[in-house]
Amino acid sequence: MADPSREPSGTPVLRYLAILSAARDFGVRPADIERVVRRFDPGQTSPRELADALADTLTPASKA
């Protein structure tokens, strides 16, 4: 789990929503977003970890 002291200030829910919106904007399919999001508990996982997992869906290696 990420160090909470290194996370940007603000509401975690808004950060999660911003990450999901950005993933859509970058072309991640809704089904892929749902598949990734189901693995994360917002109360236990940092938004940075969610962003990293969604970014992994954009790399060619993850599509193989």
Residue 19 counted as domain residue? yes
Residue 1 counted as domain residue? no
* Structure tokens belonging to residue 39: 């693995």
* Element containing residue 32 per DSSP (H, E): helix 30-37
* Structure tokens belonging to residue 53: 């997992």
3-class DSSP assignment, residue 24: helix
The count of structural domains within the chain is 1
Residue 33 counted as domain residue? yes
pTM of full prediction above 0.75: no
pLDDT at 40: 87
Residue 39 counted as domain residue? yes
Residue 2 counted as domain residue? no
Residue 4 counted as domain residue? no
Structural domain including 31 reads 11-63
Percent of the chain with pLDDT over 90: 50
Residue 43 counted as domain residue? yes
Residue 6 counted as domain residue? no
CA distance 59 to 62: 6
